[in-house]
Structure 1
Amino acid sequence: MVAIGSKALPLRRHRNCDSIAKCSMAGEDNTYNQGGRRRNMGRKSMKKSKGPESGGAAGETHKSIQHSNNQEPSVPHTSFLRQQVDPETAKYFTEISNVIEGTEIDMEERSSICGNALEETRGKEVELATDYIISHTLQTLLQGCAIDPLCSFLQNCSKDFPQISMDRSGSHVAETALKSLAEHLQENESQSLIEVTLNDICQAIVVNPVDVMVNCHGSHVLRSLLCLCKGVPLDSSDIHSKKSSAVLAQRLNFKSSRSDGSGFHGLHQGFPDMLKLLVSEILKAAKKDIEMLQVDQYGSLVLQTALKLLAGYEQELMHAIPVVLGCKGNLIESNIVKRLLSLMKETAFSHLMEVILEVAPDTLYNELITKVFINSLFEMSSHHCGNFVIQALISHARSEDHVELIWKELGTKFKNLFGMGKSGVVASLLAACHRIHTHEHQCCQALIGAVCMENEPPRCIVPRILFLDNYFYSKDKSNWDWPSGARMHTIGTLLLQSVFRLPTDFIHAFISSMTSLEENHLLDTSKDSGGARVIEAFLDSEASAKQKRKLIVKFKGHFGELSVLPSGSFTVEKCFDVSNVSLREVIVSEMLDVQAELSKTKQGPHLLRKFDVEGYAKRPDQWKSRQTSRESVYNDFISTFGSNTTKSSYKDANSTHNRSKSQQEKLKDMRKEINTQLSSSHTPFLANKPFKSSGQKRHSDGNESRPGKFTKHANEDVAKSKQKSHRKRKHDG
């Protein structure tokens, strides 16, 4: 029977603290959260995130990371002779496992037991970490110990860290140790000790990094080490995510993209100087093996991570990217262009090239597009791997000149690309044109020409784009009809969402096609997740109110049915927002029949509260009065503050280019604030009274909120504007 307590399993030798006492400890950082074990890393989206980035004392400590002089690259091999754990040690760690996993222990006592047990690993770290059973116990110890024994363990086994990382069991131990280091970074007086520990590990890695890079287990550990040096959470979706939806959102301007290194989620203080030096030494050691690493699945992943983490460090990227591309100098030589184009048809390198295009400094991007991609865009777009590289190239275009170059080669090829199933290239080009405000009208015309035969009415445009592959793969396109029950094409729906973000003058045909949809087809569209977003995009577009209501009227009799559906509920909400009072009454009256069912859905309570369904059921007249007040206040605001650029149509097609983004956001926020203030089901809004200039408002649900951004001064500004107009008229008279 094993006693429980800090003295239950004493050390079999005295603990030596000398090595730890040598390190002074100072600094503070934030925690990482490591999730499940992910072996692959895919396309990412970046969002702006806050956090200082400083190396602290790193500049002094890890200057000692050096690559062995004149060391020849070895042929990667990862097998080693596994040493068996002696029976006495195995028994000791079995007892430790029973103690720490079988009974409740307070945190301080647990930490002491874990620290004592880690002391028993000295000299046997490799055997214990690579043992299938004991490695699990070792992970628990590393998670539960204090910073001193954790760093002591890692420093003792630092020379063997690459070997441990490449083992199936050992890699889990290595990653757990790195995660624990990251968690301790949030504690005061721990950064210097952690920095010294990481420096020891990095020195061991750069001796022969290729072995670690091409090993499926070692690759993941090395990527975690790079993330730790950067200050990025070890399970960051920015690094490890491979969701195509996130990539599409970024490429089609639905999600912000940052390539300056500040867009990582949860970015905390790390060791940037150590990161730069580590990547530099890895590339220096791997330079002769770069051709193999470019096409190796795991080697490519390490290179991708390294480049992503260097985003924003232009000088380092200007040196690193040519090495990764296989250039001899810092410029792209003409003799490697053909090889690069061939490599882009390989899965591993195509992913690597996408990252290069994302993080490349402007001068290097310009060199790539003018030297490597010129005259090869359509050929690459036709390839199942290469087309993703072209999408990345287009999405990260930096100027009108770049778009012009791309347009010359691809602008007349939309129909061909759709026919080959490469619609993502078209979608990326449309998004790039919209982002840089060039070739938008030409892009819309090319899109129409790709799906419409000559002299066909525009009503066919939207259905054919919604079912893009279904239409293009049909043998008899002239007799193609709406395929009832078929799932809508993902890229097709995203294309239409992008289209409806463009100025009205460019999209008249698309608006006409949208409003020409038959009632049953429109209902099918609203029940498809992608199709519903197309409807919402149309209702958010700059189409006129009359055109929007022409579409909304077709939903009559189906608002209740749609409101209980996950995607349909958002469509109903959007219809309500842009409808006049009479249409809103139709929507709410139809929702009364499904009120009980709607209250049980995720979105239902929100809709019932926002639309004030209960208030309408009890006092329809008061409900209509509030809705009329809402519309009146909003119309007064628009008439006062609106300009020609805020109307639904534009006399000048270029006026959209000069629109103030803050103005658009201001109008949107104002309408949202008006809607909020008028959503109360308990007290009617006083249409003839001004907004309160201070104090808190209480919503119908009883929650208090601060005054809105514009509500505070809206009525005052309206009054001033009218007074000014009156004075002007008086003066003119």
Structure 2
Amino acid sequence: RFKKLSMGKKTFSDSSKTKPKGAGRVGRLDDNVLGYYRKVSETIQGEFETQEEKDLFLNNVIKQLATECISVSRNQTASRIIEQLIAVSNATQLQVLMKAFSTDWYTVCMDRFASHVVQALILHSPQYFKEKTKDSEPNDGNNNDDGNNNTDAEGSIKDLFTSFSKLVMANLPEFIIHTYASHIVRVVIEVLCGVRVDEHIVRSKISRNQNNKGPHGPSDKKAQVSIANSEEEFKPILKELAARIVSLSEIREHVKNATASPVIQTLLLVLSKKGPKRCHKIINQIFLEEASLGTLAEDEIGSHMVELVLSVLDSEHYDSAYQQHFKGKLLQLALHHTGNFVVQTLLSKAHTKEQFEAMYKELSHHIEDILAANHMGVIVKIAETCVRLGTRQDKFYKNITKAFHCHKPEERQQHVVRLLTSLTAYEVYFGLEVKPTEESDEGDEKDTKAAEPTPVEKELTVFNYHGSMLLQQLLKFGNPKSLVTSILSLTQRELTSMACNPIACHIIESFIKSPSIGETSHDKLYTKLQGCYSVIACDRTGSRVIDTLWNCAILKHKFIMAENLAKESEKLRNNNFGKFVFRNCGIHNFIHRRQDWKENQKGNIRKRKILDGIFDDEKPQNKKRQNDISHEENIQMDDFFSVNGTDDSSPPKNADSDSKSSKQDRFSKKDFGNKKSKGKNLKKDRFKTKSDGQIKDKGMLKLLDDMQPSRKK
């Protein structure tokens, strides 16, 4: 809407010769007129004492606007104000505006600013399709009709929209390739089908940014809700409109046109949700009858169409499209600067293991070539699909390590995290001479027994976005043993730098959250970070990592963290980010009321596990295993606190009696440790635990709220 004029050749002088005198002032308004509508905008944004007062004001404004709506809507400032008016108008007022614009739909649809007003009108009309409107114009209490604004004409809002849809169909060849009118066609398709398309299809990036900042943002949100109702009588109109679009003589050129392609994409999207059979039929007519998808995949505009087509196809049609258009061409597309995005969509939309494995077979031996082309998106998508479909994980990891020259000798694999995070090969990272790789007949590197030169230790300081994304996916694999070893081999300083880096911090979070990594590895990480927790907590990014580490920690790990943080309590309190960690981790209680802190944390962990059991719908054996782990935590923490000290306010107890009492209390609870409980009673016991685990201290509720990772002052 506010795109700058092209800096290319100007043709204004030539075109102006054919325009009538004064045509250059289209959209300009008198200062008084523009000032009036600015005051209207200010009044709308304010508050009215009563709804009647608001209706009266809007009636007067709409009455005035109806006499000059076409000329006013062509002004940049006034058009935005009209959109605000449309957002707050009722059915009768909207009907008046639609009738006023219907005198010259063609002009406003082709105008740079008025077209946005038409979009707003069409988007807001569905909410009033079933509402009866008055057959008289809105008035200010004086029933003096001047004849020009009389709305006692035929047509409800639905009728006006229907006639407008037919006008769009009549001018479709011109509208579909017009910069501004094409947006009108998209909105009409959405309303006819009753499906709202994502903004990245309907609006350009510039328009979306302005829409978020503009005053009419809420109106689009309202329209998104109201458009969800489609009328039965619109189906023939939608069917005819779709047929006309497909039958356009230059349809295959339109899919590569920056203006027409989004219109076709909108049609396919709405039909995929309301009429999948019709959608597949149109796709067959346009694309699948000829081998055109493979060619379009390398076109900057057509590639977006190909991605959308792949996203709306079901498993059967997806497989057919791959076999007919992409089989044997994946490497070529993966190395292409535009085609690699289509390959990413192909991978992410694979429905079955067989489909993915066929594609992986084409790409598996060329991972290094794809890396050399700097198309890391393809590599990350392969990893994501390996996780999603649970296949080819070991082979992909092997191919990745080969591509980074750290597969053999095995000593190199301890550096895999450094190499992936910095996205550099082994020789480049350590500054060694690059030697050609010898491969056996099976495609594996020969395991030479030549002495491997010991690389000079180099600290990890460079973090790559795509390398971080790849590592996060690899940590979700079923057996990330090598990665775990590599991460734990990092120095304390490297781990601290990683935790405080906006890109690499997610690697540590994925390490903690991964279901494939056990408590032993977690314990090593928590222990290795000792002495660095306060440094990480005082960093903008690191404080978030501390929150994640804290929320995922068992009681023993929380004690390690709290003990380290307590040593720097004053530093935390005086830091803008550390103060939140100080509060969320309950460091004040840890220092002054340690026994209370311990009980509070036990209660939090117990409640979290209960909720996990309810919402995750875990299997009975997993629940039993979690209960066993919780007993181990209690046993370990009883011993841990007996070694590290207890609350100062309570005298130390005899070790034997404490041990006996803790055992007795532990096995007296029905929810934890009852080995005789059967699977059928787990659900009942689980809900008993909820009441057993409640803390009687009234201050506990406040503490639970305080422990949430809030960032509000």
Assess same fold via TM > 0.5: yes
2:108 equivalent in structure 1: 164
The superposition leaves residues 337-379 of structure 1 with CA deviations (integer Å, 9 ceiling, x where unpaired) of 2x43222111111111111111113332111101000000110
Asked if the contact 1:165/1:221 (under 8 Å) is kept, the reply is yes
Question: Gaps (5+ residues) in structure 2?
Answer: 5-17, 135-154, 207-222, 435-454, 638-646, 651-661, 671-688, 706-713
Asked if the contact 1:213/1:219 (under 8 Å) is kept, the reply is yes
Question: Gaps (5+ residues) in structure 1?
Answer: 1-35, 40-78, 244-263, 643-658, 706-733
2:307 equivalent in structure 1: 354
Say if 1:522 and 1:296 are closer, same or farther in 2 by CA, change over 3 A.
same
1:461 aligns with 2:435: no
* Equivalent-residue separation in structure 2 for 1:664 and 1:166 (angstroms): 66
Map of 1:514-533 to 2, 5 A cutoff? 514-533=487-506
Asked if the contact 2:73/2:114 (under 8 Å) is kept, the reply is yes
2:279 equivalent in structure 1: 317
Say if 1:409 and 1:570 are closer, same or farther in 2 by CA, change over 3 A.
same
1:536 deviates by 1.2
Instruction: State which of 183, 186, 190 in structure 2 corresponds to 1:223.
Output: 186
Q: Which amino acid aligns with 2:67?
A: E
1:129 equivalent in structure 2: 73
Number of positions where the alignment pairs a residue of Structure 1 with one of Structure 2: 572
1:392 deviates by 0.3
Where 1:358 maps in the other structure, the secondary structure is helix
Q: Which amino acid aligns with 1:161?
A: W
* Equivalent-residue separation in structure 1 for 2:73 and 2:175 (angstroms): 17
Say if 1:450 and 1:202 are closer, same or farther in 2 by CA, change over 3 A.
same
1:302 equivalent in structure 2: 263
* Equivalent-residue separation in structure 2 for 1:599 and 1:671 (angstroms): 37
Say if 1:664 and 1:145 are closer, same or farther in 2 by CA, change over 3 A.
farther
* Equivalent-residue separation in structure 1 for 2:552 and 2:29 (angstroms): 73
* Stretch deviating more after TM superposition (407-416 or 447-456): 447-456
Say if 1:174 and 1:558 are closer, same or farther in 2 by CA, change over 3 A.
same
Say if 1:397 and 1:472 are closer, same or farther in 2 by CA, change over 3 A.
farther
* Equivalent-residue separation in structure 2 for 1:592 and 1:368 (angstroms): 61
1:76 equivalent in structure 2: none
Give the RMSD, CA atoms, in angstroms.
4.8
Say if 1:621 and 1:172 are closer, same or farther in 2 by CA, change over 3 A.
same
Say if 1:239 and 1:587 are closer, same or farther in 2 by CA, change over 3 A.
farther
* Stretch deviating more after TM superposition (284-293 or 374-383): 284-293
Say if 1:239 and 1:522 are closer, same or farther in 2 by CA, change over 3 A.
farther
Say if 1:518 and 1:131 are closer, same or farther in 2 by CA, change over 3 A.
closer
* Stretch deviating more after TM superposition (418-427 or 464-473): 464-473
Asked if the contact 1:151/1:193 (under 8 Å) is kept, the reply is yes
Asked if the contact 1:566/1:603 (under 8 Å) is kept, the reply is yes
Say if 1:193 and 1:494 are closer, same or farther in 2 by CA, change over 3 A.
farther
1:589 deviates by 2.9
* Equivalent-residue separation in structure 1 for 2:301 and 2:622 (angstroms): 41
* Stretch deviating more after TM superposition (281-290 or 271-280): 271-280
Asked if the contact 1:314/1:361 (under 8 Å) is kept, the reply is no
* Equivalent-residue separation in structure 1 for 2:504 and 2:383 (angstroms): 19
The superposition leaves residues 43-96 of structure 1 with CA deviations (integer Å, 9 ceiling, x where unpaired) of xxxxxxxxxxxxxxxxxxxxxxxxxxxxxxxxxxxx997969999996995585
Instruction: State which of 489, 498, 501 in structure 1 corresponds to 2:473.
Output: 498
Where 2:531 maps in the other structure, the secondary structure is coil
* Equivalent-residue separation in structure 1 for 2:96 and 2:630 (angstroms): 57
Where 1:491 maps in the other structure, the secondary structure is helix
Asked if the contact 1:229/1:271 (under 8 Å) is kept, the reply is yes
Q: Which amino acid aligns with 1:112?
A: N
1:153 aligns with 2:97: yes
1:109 equivalent in structure 2: 56
* Equivalent-residue separation in structure 2 for 1:209 and 1:670 (angstroms): 66
The superposition leaves residues 432-484 of structure 1 with CA deviations (integer Å, 9 ceiling, x where unpaired) of 22222222222222222222242142211111111126879878576697575
Asked if the contact 1:463/1:482 (under 8 Å) is kept, the reply is no
Q: Which amino acid aligns with 1:300?
A: S
1:201 equivalent in structure 2: 164
Say if 1:671 and 1:93 are closer, same or farther in 2 by CA, change over 3 A.
farther
Asked if the contact 2:512/2:522 (under 8 Å) is kept, the reply is yes
* Equivalent-residue separation in structure 2 for 1:596 and 1:231 (angstroms): 59
Say if 1:661 and 1:204 are closer, same or farther in 2 by CA, change over 3 A.
farther
1:241 deviates by 8.8
* Equivalent-residue separation in structure 2 for 1:573 and 1:630 (angstroms): 14
Map of 1:534-553 to 2, 5 A cutoff? 534-541=507-514, 542-553=516-527
Asked if the contact 2:331/2:363 (under 8 Å) is kept, the reply is yes
1:422 equivalent in structure 2: 375
Asked if the contact 1:114/1:145 (under 8 Å) is kept, the reply is no
Asked if the contact 2:186/2:263 (under 8 Å) is kept, the reply is yes
2:702 equivalent in structure 1: 702
* Equivalent-residue separation in structure 2 for 1:134 and 1:625 (angstroms): 63
Q: Greater RCO between the two (CA within 8 Å, min separation 6)?
A: 1
Q: Which amino acid aligns with 1:303?
A: I
1:281 deviates by 1.4
1:63 equivalent in structure 2: none
* Equivalent-residue separation in structure 1 for 2:592 and 2:620 (angstroms): 39
1:19 equivalent in structure 2: none
1:272 deviates by 6.7
Asked if the contact 1:464/1:471 (under 8 Å) is kept, the reply is yes
* Equivalent-residue separation in structure 1 for 2:611 and 2:94 (angstroms): 63
1:611 aligns with 2:585: yes
1:97 aligns with 2:42: no
Map of 1:166-185 to 2, 5 A cutoff? 166-181=110-125, 184-185=127-128
* Stretch deviating more after TM superposition (385-394 or 543-552): 543-552
The superposition leaves residues 121-176 of structure 1 with CA deviations (integer Å, 9 ceiling, x where unpaired) of 4xxx5444335565456445544543223224324534743542231121232233
Asked if the contact 1:227/1:233 (under 8 Å) is kept, the reply is yes
Say if 1:661 and 1:195 are closer, same or farther in 2 by CA, change over 3 A.
farther
Q: Which amino acid aligns with 1:544?
A: G
1:693 deviates by 3.5
The superposition leaves residues 554-580 of structure 1 with CA deviations (integer Å, 9 ceiling, x where unpaired) of 211111121232332232233334555
1:654 equivalent in structure 2: none
Asked if the contact 1:165/1:174 (under 8 Å) is kept, the reply is yes
Say if 1:633 and 1:380 are closer, same or farther in 2 by CA, change over 3 A.
closer
Say if 1:149 and 1:581 are closer, same or farther in 2 by CA, change over 3 A.
closer
* Equivalent-residue separation in structure 1 for 2:467 and 2:332 (angstroms): 22
Say if 1:589 and 1:315 are closer, same or farther in 2 by CA, change over 3 A.
same
* Equivalent-residue separation in structure 2 for 1:445 and 1:87 (angstroms): 64
Where 1:216 maps in the other structure, the secondary structure is coil
Map of 1:6-45 to 2, 5 A cutoff? none
Q: Which amino acid aligns with 2:389?
A: I
Where 1:524 maps in the other structure, the secondary structure is helix
* Equivalent-residue separation in structure 1 for 2:595 and 2:494 (angstroms): 35
Asked if the contact 1:563/1:572 (under 8 Å) is kept, the reply is yes
Instruction: State which of 525, 532, 536 in structure 2 corresponds to 1:562.
Output: 536
Asked if the contact 1:418/1:468 (under 8 Å) is kept, the reply is no
Asked if the contact 2:461/2:494 (under 8 Å) is kept, the reply is no
Q: Which amino acid aligns with 1:111?
A: L
Say if 1:538 and 1:266 are closer, same or farther in 2 by CA, change over 3 A.
farther
Q: Which amino acid aligns with 1:618?
A: H
Asked if the contact 2:254/2:260 (under 8 Å) is kept, the reply is yes
Q: Which amino acid aligns with 1:510?
A: L
Asked if the contact 1:466/1:489 (under 8 Å) is kept, the reply is yes
TM-score (norm 2): 0.68
1:616 deviates by 0.5
Say if 1:386 and 1:621 are closer, same or farther in 2 by CA, change over 3 A.
same
2:230 equivalent in structure 1: 271
Where 1:297 maps in the other structure, the secondary structure is coil
Asked if the contact 1:588/1:611 (under 8 Å) is kept, the reply is yes
